[in-house]
Structure 1
Amino acid sequence: MRNMTDEPVTEFNWRSLKTLLPYLLEHKVRVALALSCLILAKVASVGMPFVLKSVVDTLDSQSDITVALASVPVALIIAYGLIRLVNVLLGEIRDTLFGRVTERAMRRVGLNVFKHIHNLELDFHLNRQTGGLSRDMERGVSGISFLMRFMVFNIVPILLEILFVVVIFFVNYGIKFALITLAAIVTYIFFTAYATEWRTKFIRAANAADNSSNTRAIDSLMNYETVKYFNNEDYEAKRYDEDLADWEKARRSNRLTLFALNSGQAFIVATAMTSMLLLAGQGVVEKTMTLGDFVLINAFMMQLFMPLNFLGFVYREIKGSLANIERMFELLQRPAKITDTPNAKALNVSAGSISFEKIAFGYDQQRTVLKNVSFEVKAGQKVAVVGSSGSGKSTLVKLLFRFYDPNSGRVLIDGQDIKHVTQHSLRQIIGIVPQDTVLFNDTIFENIRYGNPSASDEQVWAAINHAHLSNFIESLPDRHETKVGERGLKLSGGEKQRVAIARTLLKNPPILVFDEATSSLDSGSEQAILKALKDIAKGHTSLVIAHRLSTVVDADQIVVLEQGEVVEVGTHQVLLGQQGRYAELWRMQNEQQGNSDD
């Protein structure tokens, strides 16, 4: 990935705006109506100073104030009030019409980013920083609200209004007024653009520090028990404070640069206003201009510099918002490494056989995990893969689920290469009880229903009974409504795995995968679960990754992996008779069991 701070900001901004355009154009009618309201409002705002000039000139032409007040055309004053009212109402109607466009865009972009993150490969998620990623998404979606509303409905109309005013000054009052106005506007815009570009790096630095501190806090809190085990509360607080110190420094720099920007803008505006009013005042004294002209110019300058000042604010905020959504859009544009092939079809499962053909795989080029691995799990069979730690057992599961693609070789289900079927259909027909079960911070009942969100309560209870969870659930104060805590921390390892087993049973797929599924269970629970799994596995194809060899003695085939290679294949009795690697592992585990019994 490129370092984003090295990327030209302008280039990326245009790409970001281009990405947002389709979301804006989804509501063409609403956008058109909102633009119409905006144009009418701008026409009305340009007309107000002329009405005000007519009122003032009428008052100024009378020497007697009583006569002057009586002679002021009531229609002019009413017209001035109506124009102001219409201007405000049109702005409110515009905002109401465009509000739905903005909110829908935020929703759609947020959803697309969420779905895209889920589509990214496992490698991305193993290396991500959850806290920083969450903050990028939050700031990015919020930044879209500002961009969608102010970029389209403020910058272009403000520039249009500036053009109107400059032309009016040139036609009615001469080139001096027009040049001063134009020079002030150009200076203001260039100064704002330059200073804002200068400030962007401080905004990025503040965001990076904010991400770092947020990631640090979430990581520490998610590992609360580990912090307590090692008595490292002060160490965690110190590291968190170091990140907060970086954030404080970046925010201070950001604030000081904002002060410099605002001061420069204020100086330009004050200079232009003073110059224009001096010229207008001189014109009134010399009788070349009326008092109404003086009021008109003052009104136009106020009306001009209010949106011009707002233009500076909008430009600053847009640059800040673009800096905020920069990471989110880069994330959205990050291609997934594991994708469906063009015209990929749904996996058609008739029997459920699995074949690993000459599989070679490594997580990086320096380390090969699997070397020319071949074996078959026939339909309805239970095949176990055993071996020492690091032999590549769990990697086979990741390849079967297509979290990774093999460097060479194929994985087939019922003769279909899983690279050429949709990932959704592939994972739909496989159920897994992983070694490390992570649960959602919800009730134990809803965590089990996650295996099949459309399942009825009766079906969930049936899965609970088959997983031998009923007694445990009945013993809880809130029974099945008990919250399991973040990542299931309120449950023991064995309880979490039984929840995972019930969840997989509820899914009821034709292929079952058990990755050390009973490793956290005591002997009594293990035997009960194994019996239940044996009953459920009838008619299913089962792939078992096992550490405890005692759990797979009934397997139809046992595949022994050693340093990424298949060294033995056979039944439990056959492998014991060969006196090879399996027999050695069996003997070692029996000795360990005997020692633990002593």
Structure 2
Amino acid sequence: MVEKIQYSRNLKIYWNFVKKYKFLLVMILLVLIVMQSLSLVIPYLLKLLIDNGELFLNGKITQIVFSKILLTLLAVYVGSEIIRSASEWFRHAILIKLDSRIIKDLKIKYFNHLIDLSHGFHSSNKTGTLISRIIRGGSSIESLNDSFAFNFIPLLIRFIVIGTALYFVDWKLPIIMTLFILLFISINYFLLKAEANSRMRSNKAEDKERANIADTFTNIDSIKYFGKEQKIKSVFSKLVERTRKELVKTWSFYKIRSTINIFITGLSALIILSIPIFGLLNKTTSIGTLVFVWGAYGKILNPLHGFIFGMRRVYRSMTDLEKLFNYSDIKNEIKDAPNAKRLEIKQGKVEFKNINFGYRSETRIFENFNLKIGKNQKIALVGLSGAGKSTLIKLLYRFYDPDFGQVLIDGTDIKEFKQESVRSEMSIVPQEAILFDDTIYNNIAFSKTNASNKEVWKAIKFAQLEDFINGLPEKGNTIVGERGVKLSGGEKQRVSIARAILANKKILVLDEATSAMDSETEFFIQSALKKLMKNRTTIIIAHRLSTIMFADKIVVIDKGKIKETGTHEELIKSSKIYKKLWTIQKGGYIK
């Protein structure tokens, strides 16, 4: 099913970007009026040249008079060309300013909007598609501006100028010209509308293709580990072929329009010229007037074809902008309260109170879930995969709101605070350490952008990274690559730990913080983490039970419910589930 393009909405959003630059719009309109008014200079000069030349040949004016007329015509021609050239320069100069500013505004608006959307949105939309639509949106804005500046407004002004001039030759000429222009535009309007629907399908195919490219290169290691290059190539080949077929259908509309347009313009030229030709036969019209009518009508044909080209670009731009502008209608599921305050954690107490939650309404992860974590208490969450441990952290960070119940920090519901401030008041070492394609130093400093060099290096030492960084040719200025691909899993995790150390917050979350490290590195990091956790509320998620033996309290979670709580020593003696987990992994990982 083809999605309907919301032209009025898209044009309204486009106008909201454009209207900020009223001065530039007025300037370009004045330039276009000057340029289009000059379009009749050459046809009119030719008319005067031919009519006066005929008088000269018939001996009705002298050579001296005719020479003066020629010099006058030459001067007018040179002057008009200078003005036209200068106007063209100004048109491009103004457009460059207008395009660059509006494209910048559009990219910032939608980048910021997408950044602010919920975790749920980003987990269900492909990165490649988002990138494609933002970039395509910038190009579409340029196409729209060019269509108005080079196609639509010039045709309108030229139509008024030429129609007025032709009226003084014969009142029937502007009427015939208007009828043919309306016929020309109407036929192209319906053809372009059909082409726009086809364009939507080809855009959808292109988006899938680009998303596949992004997904492929993100997972290039997995492809090579499993030797699936040929399978991936085959999948991509099918996607490209589908895109090709859709593009062929879209491009095929051009040959239909082109054929019809040539026929209509040829027929209209014949009818328009027949009027001055009959006048010439009846000796009521001069040869100069015939040439003027032909030249004047010829001056409308190129802009008319340009208008259709502009319509095609507008339809294409509207189609390309449709998906991007649809994001405007998507609101963040997680909303700040109208009078939300900034959170400043004083004690670090955390409570999950009567929590009901499920990612889907028909599936509950938590039901009447309760957990209190005291000030500076170290709580470890243990359980098999899917038990709900990571979901609790997402609720704490307010990636999602519970269906019922409250998440409290220092006794206050986190919904009363700005969500960005809630997240910025906690430190986390996530299970998967994703880094920016930047230097190691900047990746660590990301958690505290105003940190001094001394603070950053203190965190580096704390995370056992100093020797590794100093051993690199570029040291702290070494680029880690996209998503940190140039670093090993353990090195990335240590960078993530250094980030959390530098952030220095009252609440610390360790989500399998040492899972990618060898035993020796883990031993040193565990020692550092013990120091880090001092005087902080710490929530630890670990599959490796040896990493949580020093927790104040271990909470065993199974299918979203707390089954047992206690210290390692207590649970080994009293808890069947915990003892079973400990026995299974023998100090290693929970299977």
Question: Could you tell me the TM-score, scaled by structure 1's length?
Answer: 0.93
Shift in Å at residue 244 of structure 1?
1.1
Correspondence for 2:127: 130
What is the RMSD computed on CA atoms of the aligned residues? 2.3
Question: Could you tell me the TM-score, scaled by structure 2's length?
Answer: 0.94
Correspondence for 2:50: 56
Out of 36-45 and 138-147, give the one that drifted further: 36-45
Q: Distance in 1 between matches of 2:68 and 2:154?
A: 37
- Runs of 5+ unmatched residues, structure 2: none
Q: Distance in 1 between matches of 2:425 and 2:376?
A: 14
Out of 543-552 and 237-246, give the one that drifted further: 543-552
Give the alignment of 1:28-67 within 5 angstroms.
28-46=22-40, 49-63=43-57, 67=63
Shift in Å at residue 477 of structure 1?
4.2
Number of aligned positions between the proteins: 588
Contact 1:58/1:71, CA 8 A, preserved across alignment: no
Task: Select which of 306, 316, 339 maps to 1:320.
Answer: 316
Task: Select which of 142, 145, 160 maps to 2:142.
Answer: 145
Matched AA of 2:29? L
Task: Select which of 413, 416, 437 maps to 2:412.
Answer: 416
Matched AA of 1:343? N
1:153/1:342 Cα in 2 relative to 1: closer, same or farther (>3 Å)? Answer: farther
Correspondence for 1:26: 20
Out of 472-481 and 310-319, give the one that drifted further: 472-481
Shift in Å at residue 258 of structure 1?
0.8
- Runs of 5+ unmatched residues, structure 1: none
Correspondence for 1:102: 99
Q: Distance in 1 between matches of 2:399 and 2:509?
A: 15
Task: Select which of 486, 492, 500 maps to 2:488.
Answer: 492
Correspondence for 2:567: 571
State, as a whole percentage, how many aligned pairs show the same letter.
32
SS at match of 1:72: helix
Matched AA of 1:30? L
Contact 1:53/1:292, CA 8 A, preserved across alignment: yes
Matched, 1:92 2:89: yes
SS at match of 1:357: strand
Correspondence for 2:167: 170
Shift in Å at residue 592 of structure 1?
6.1
Q: CA deviation digits over 1:513-568, x for unaligned, max 9? A: 10111122222221211111111222222111122222222222222211101122
Matched, 1:72 2:66: no
1:566/1:184 Cα in 2 relative to 1: closer, same or farther (>3 Å)? Answer: same
Shift in Å at residue 51 of structure 1?
4.0
Out of 398-407 and 519-528, give the one that drifted further: 519-528
Q: CA deviation digits over 1:423-472, x for unaligned, max 9? A: 11111111110111112222322222222233333322111100011122
Q: CA deviation digits over 1:136-190, x for unaligned, max 9? A: 2211111011113423664144224213423432343131x23321221011101
Out of 200-209 and 149-158, give the one that drifted further: 149-158
Q: CA deviation digits over 1:338-358, x for unaligned, max 9? A: 121212111132222111111
Shift in Å at residue 411 of structure 1?
0.6
Shift in Å at residue 48 of structure 1?
5.0
Q: Distance in 1 between matches of 2:43 and 2:588?
A: 94
Q: Distance in 2 between matches of 1:288 and 1:415?
A: 97
Contact 2:33/2:157, CA 8 A, preserved across alignment: no
Q: Distance in 1 between matches of 2:177 and 2:75?
A: 30
Correspondence for 1:452: 448
Matched AA of 1:25? K
Shift in Å at residue 97 of structure 1?
2.2
Task: Select which of 210, 214, 219 maps to 2:215.
Answer: 219
Out of 305-314 and 553-562, give the one that drifted further: 553-562
Shift in Å at residue 132 of structure 1?
2.5
Q: CA deviation digits over 1:295-351, x for unaligned, max 9? A: 211121111111111101101111111111111111233222112121211113222
SS at match of 1:454: coil
Correspondence for 1:16: 10
Q: Distance in 1 between matches of 2:68 and 2:442?
A: 78
Contact 2:546/2:588, CA 8 A, preserved across alignment: no
Correspondence for 2:463: 467
Q: Distance in 2 between matches of 1:156 and 1:73?
A: 33
